[in-house]
Amino acid sequence: MRPLLALLALCTVLAPARGGLYYSGEAFRELPARWRGFLPDHRALRLVAAPLAATAGTSLPLRDAYTDAALRLAATARTRALTADEAADLGALYVRLGQPQKAVDILRPAARAHPTHFHLAANLGTAWQLVGDLEQAAAALEDAARLAPKELKDAEAYHLKLVRLRAAEGRRAQNPTAPDDLFGVRFVGERGAAEAGGIATGEKKKLPANAVAVAQQLALWLPADGRLVWLLGELANAVGDARTAANLLDGCVSEFNMASPELRARRQLYRTTAAEWDKAGEHDRGKDAITFRSPRALVRGVDPAKLPAIKLDGVTPLPWVVVGETEIGPRGKPVFLKYLEQLDGKRVSLTGFMSAGGATENELTGFLMTENAIGCWFCETPGPTQVVTVDLTAGATTAPMRAALKVTGTLKLNRTDPEAFPVTITDATIGAAD
């Protein structure tokens, strides 16, 4: 199968830059990141703090890694005083894990002891914000904005502005009728008639060039904040990408349970506009509206010690993070992790979702597989390293299905054909997801 790959841009990875919630084990690439890379990373960070009952049976390697790191630092704190950097890390980990009060308890005394430590001030501001004390959050973020290095002052200033705006709204912030007014721009449809593909006359020139990068940064710091996703949707529409705007506002409704009538009306408007574009054959309209700096947002390292042991005569479970760490070179040549190289030609199992590539027949002999369901706003159009090609065993067929499934077969790596996906599972059988 050679679907879609020739249409996907092969992006080089830029130097990573830490930002947002400051944890030494977490790094981000230069923003803005492409939507198809940003959204899965945003979701992965949000799920780190999700209740265990809500994610039962779901493999969350990022949460496992953060939990282990927090336990190690907490154990260290019982034997000696943490350094300023260690306290900043532990506070950040508690924030990521959905325990902001524990973060405040660690960060507050550490910030007092180290009043010029930027990471402590920034992390404490975020922790206070998530606890709900916006006054304390603003005070800490004022320190963070003052202490921030030059390259981070802009993002910290916008975070401080966000907290001040929410504090001024008071209870109204709990039921927003518009995105946060971070950029002093009135989006079309705000308190008036809506329009797709732009913003109010005379307002576009006010939108800063780094608006999408800033909004993505804030959303990565605060991944459970659906209102920031609404802002990202409006920014996508402002530059002419109503299709992405519709996907993002879909997420606000389906994933964040936002019930604002204004948001739902705008979502329907952007859906209608995207459908009209598709009807007119303008399937790529709006896709080049933003100059993206990176293919993904989060630099996701892989700990070899936590990967499943490779079974020479059995079936090895294949984690998606191993597939996603494949890098595409400037000539389309993939570079695989050593672990994935060692699995080449061996039997593996992979759990995910089927994408039939637009096929309507009920007897598919193969399909594309993704970690998340296509049609979900987090996935949009997946990149080549976010897709696995599945070829069923000879004579076998399957009907398209929406439920999660587990595929078992032989892993085959593509090192030479730039028009095919890098990873294929051949001689495959389908079973129910664990």
- What DSSP state is assigned to residue 334? E
Average pLDDT over residues 236-253: 91
The dotted CATH code for 5-279 is 1.25.40.10
pTM, to two decimals: 0.78
Domain boundaries defined on the chain: 5-279, 303-432
Q: Average pLDDT, whole number, for the chain?
A: 85
Both tokens of 298, joined, read 């989060």
Amino acid identity at 54: A
**SS3 assignment for 7-27:** HCCCCCCCCCECCCCCCCCCE
**DSSP result, 57-112:** T---HHHHHHHHHHHHHHHHHTTSPPPHHHHHHHHHHHHHTT-HHHHHHHHHHHHH
Distance CA 357, CA 430 (A): 18
Both tokens of 431, joined, read 């079973």
| Contact between residue 24 and residue 36 where contact means Cβ atoms under 8 Å apart | no
- Is the per-residue pLDDT at 378 higher than 60? no
User: Any idea what the Cα angle at residue 344 is, between residues 343 and 349, rounded to 5°?
Assistant: 55
- Tell me the β-bridge partners of 33: 294
Backbone angles phi, psi at 287, to 5 degrees: -70, -25
pLDDT in the model for residue 195: 63
- Tell me the β-bridge partners of 410: 347, 426
The dotted CATH code for 303-432 is 2.40.50
Quote the radius of gyration of the chain (alpha carbons, Å). Answer: 23
**Do 5-279 and 303-432 share a fold?**
no
Q: Is 191 helix (H, G, I), strand (E, B) or coil?
A: coil
**Number of CB atoms found within 10 A of residue 293's CB:** 15
User: Which range has the top average pLDDT, 31-35, 255-259, 346-350?
Assistant: 346-350
Distance CA 196, CA 191 (A): 15
- What DSSP state is assigned to residue 49? T
pLDDT in the model for residue 160: 96
pLDDT in the model for residue 251: 92
Both tokens of 79, joined, read 């034997």
pLDDT for 117-166, tens place per residue?
A: 999 999 999 999 999 999 999 999 999 999 999 988 988 999 999 999 99
